[in-house]
Amino acid sequence: MVPTGSLQIPESPLPSSGKAIYFSLVIPTYKERDNIQRIVRILSQLLDEYIPEDYELIVVDDDSPDRTWEVAQSLTEDYPQLRVMRRQEERGLSSAVIRGWQAARGSILGVIDGDLQHPPEVLQQLLNGIEQGADLAVASRNIEGGGVSSWSVVRRFLSRGAQLLGLIILPNVLGRVSDPMSGYFMVRRSAIANVTLNPVGYKILLEVIGRGEVGKITEVGYVFCERKEGESKVTWKQYVEYIHHLIRLRLSTGILGRVHKQINFPIGRFLRFGLVGLSGVFVDMVILYLLSDPTTLALPLTRSKIIAGEIAIFNNFLWNDAWTFADVSMQQQEWHHRLKRFVKFNIICLAGLLINVLVLNLVFNFLIPNRYIANLIAIAVATVWNFWVNLKLSWRVTDVK
């Protein structure tokens, strides 16, 4: 059974999953057919020694085309502590780990790669760390005893760059561990129970530290070994997802997260609206040049500006209708609806222009006697006005079917 619904770990194991135990180790796999048997054997041998009968291994496979799940399933006879989850609907490393933890029976939840790049021997030190009171024990490549065996200069550089970027955006998360990209760690269930985890991409550890109630952390050095079988799934997409994840965590945790929740400001939409606005500035400039420049049509300035401004407004309307507010305009595609939106948009933007001039004068005369700074402030105020009023009045669903 694959858990569904929100990505929340229950405070104690679900009664349906059986008797509670100490440690659950999730092994996310995708096309690891040639590794799965070996890793299960090695992990079982080690854990049988440290905590016999008090652990489980949970393979979470995303319906690998090489049928890793089938191979894993066939091992359960010899390894009674092994459970296998074959996911056919959801995809992705981070959610695989969380789904595994949701079904877990342990009070300590761990994760390890299925390709033998994480040395299993380190498990004991990680378990010791937890035993000594840590909420989170992370295997790290960046402390004493850690390293990467043969990464190219480029990959090392990218990895460090990603870490630096993360430190800038989320210092209170990335700053707590030396290897925030580690995919090999264990955490106390109580530290992450009852919060909705919502990771994008690969880096589940960021999510655990960012949203969980993690007190003490210990780290254990390890050397990231070479892959022997199977192939890497790391592509450029992971870097993009990583940045997306950082921004999302930044906006939803800490002070910013609380403010964000309170005012409930649609930040993504606003950014799109701002980008469209920039495109309008460009259109306005080009038309103004074509109409009024002495080397082109040389029309009077005011007349040129009115035409340029209106074309820019039309440009912005089209983009906003097709992109910024696409979800709303999709529901009302008839031409008279569009026309109505366009007229409203026009009026609101004109009012925005008045506000722009007003704020410019007020700020310049009474607050900051610098016309460019004053203008920037005026533009910002007018943009927020344009956005907010258009959001409330122009792009809203009026017909209830």
Which H or E run includes 85? Answer: strand 82-86
Cβ atoms of 307 and 358 closer than 8 Å: no
Please write down the HEC assignment for all residues of 354-391. HHHHHHHHHHHHHHCCCHHHHHHHHHHHHHHHHHHHHH
Cβ atoms of 156 and 196 closer than 8 Å: no
| Binding track, positions 89-108, relative to ligand GTP; x by CB under 6 A | --xxx--x------------
Number of residues forming the site for ligand GTP (CB under 6 A): 20
CA distance 141 to 180: 10
Cβ atoms of 328 and 320 closer than 8 Å: no
In the complex with ligand GTP, the residue whose CB is nearer, 91 or 371, is 91
Segment near Mg ion (CB under 5 A); pick from 11-19, 111-119, 174-182, 342-350: 111-119
Q: Which of 118, 117, 114 is nearest to 36 (CA)?
A: 114
Q: Which does 102 bind (CB under 5 to 8 A by kind): ligand GTP, Mg ion, none?
A: none
Binding of ligand GTP by 146 (CB under 6 A): no
**CA R_g for the chain:** 28
CB of 178 vs ligand GTP, minimal distance in Å = 17
Q: In this structure, are strands 106-111 and 185-188 parallel, antiparallel, or unpaired?
A: antiparallel
Chosen residue from 32, 56, 115, 219 binding Mg ion by CB under 5 A: 115
Max alpha carbon distance in the chain (Å)?
88
Location of structure tokens 């009968």: 53
Segment 1 to 40, residues that bind ligand GTP, using CB under 6 A: 28-30, 32
Segment near Mg ion (CB under 5 A); pick from 13-21, 105-113, 162-170, 277-285: 105-113
- Print burial letters for 346-367: b (CB count within 10 Å at least 16), e (below 16): eebbeebeebbeebbeebbeee
Segment near ligand GTP (CB under 6 A); pick from 42-50, 88-96, 119-127, 204-212: 88-96
CB of 190 vs Mg ion, minimal distance in Å = 29
Q: Which of 198, 158, 211, 154 is nearest to 181 (CA)?
A: 158
| Binding track, positions 160-189, relative to ligand GTP; x by CB under 6 A | -----------------------x------
In the complex with Mg ion, the residue whose CB is nearer, 61 or 113, is 113
In the complex with ligand GTP, the residue whose CB is nearer, 35 or 316, is 35
Segment near ligand GTP (CB under 6 A); pick from 48-56, 228-236, 278-286, 346-354: 228-236
Q: Which does 277 bind (CB under 5 to 8 A by kind): Mg ion, ligand GTP, none?
A: none
In the complex with Mg ion, the residue whose CB is nearer, 140 or 394, is 140
CA distance 16 to 13: 8
Residue numbers at the binding site for ligand GTP (CB under 6 A): 28-30, 32, 60-62, 91-93, 96, 113-115, 117, 183, 227, 232-234
